[in-house]
Amino acid sequence: MQLNQDHDDLRRLTREFARAMNAANPDMADISRRRIAFSQLFRQYLIRKQELVATVRLKTTSVQVENTLRAHADGTRDLFLQYNAHIKVWTPDRIAGDWPGYRTAVLSLQRQLNERLEWEETTLHPLAVATVEAA
């Protein structure tokens, strides 16, 4: 399933980014490239996830499924809004001026992303597979 591959890729990028942030003197060009790569993958992933949700919604009328889809939408929206706010607040100049603060903010956001991915894998993905297979 492409979504599982997306999860693996997002986790890989976040781990690599976390390692890059351990540098005492960060390479800002490298940090910028990593931010862009993550942003592109994250947006593609969100599009694919919305396609899955739309497919599941068309194939079921279950209240349980609808509640799960709503919880997914709420969690995803919250994470997306936090990510957008993070990008706006943490400009390259601010990152350079407050590297420890940036690192703390990134690691917090990464933790939230990983929690969301885990929730999707244990709750949303099995439900989606069962719904699509049953239809």
The secondary structure of 28-66 as a DSSP string is HHHHHHHHHHHHHHHHHHHHHHHHHHHHHHHH---HHHH
Secondary structure E strands in the chain: none
- The range of the structural domain enclosing residue 12 comes to 2-134
Q: Which residue has the tokens 């490239």?
A: 33
Instruction: Kindly state the average pLDDT of the residues 6-10.
Output: 95
**How many domains, the chain?**
1
**Cα 41 to Cα 92: distance, rounded to the nearest angstrom:** 20
- The predicted pLDDT at position 103 comes to 93
pTM, 2 dp: 0.88
Calculated CA dihedral for residues 51, 54, 59, 61, nearest 10 degrees: 150
Residues 15, 75: contact at Cβ < 8 Å? no
Q: How far is CA 131 from CA 18, 35, 123, 135, in A?
A: 36, 35, 12, 6
pLDDT in tens, 74-96: 999 999 999 999 999 999 899 98
- The predicted pLDDT at position 50 comes to 92
CATH number at residue 21: 1.20.1440
pLDDT in tens, 13-48: 999 999 998 887 888 899 999 999 999 999 999 999
Indicate if the alpha-carbon torsion angle 95, 97, 98, 100 is positive or negative: positive
- The predicted pLDDT at position 1 comes to 65
User: CB 27: neighbour CB atoms within 10 A?
Assistant: 11
**pLDDT over 70 (residue 134):** yes
Instruction: Kindly state the average pLDDT of the residues 52-66.
Output: 88
**pLDDT over 80 (residue 104):** yes
- The predicted pLDDT at position 78 comes to 95
- The predicted pLDDT at position 135 comes to 63
Instruction: Kindly state the average pLDDT of the residues 66-80.
Output: 93
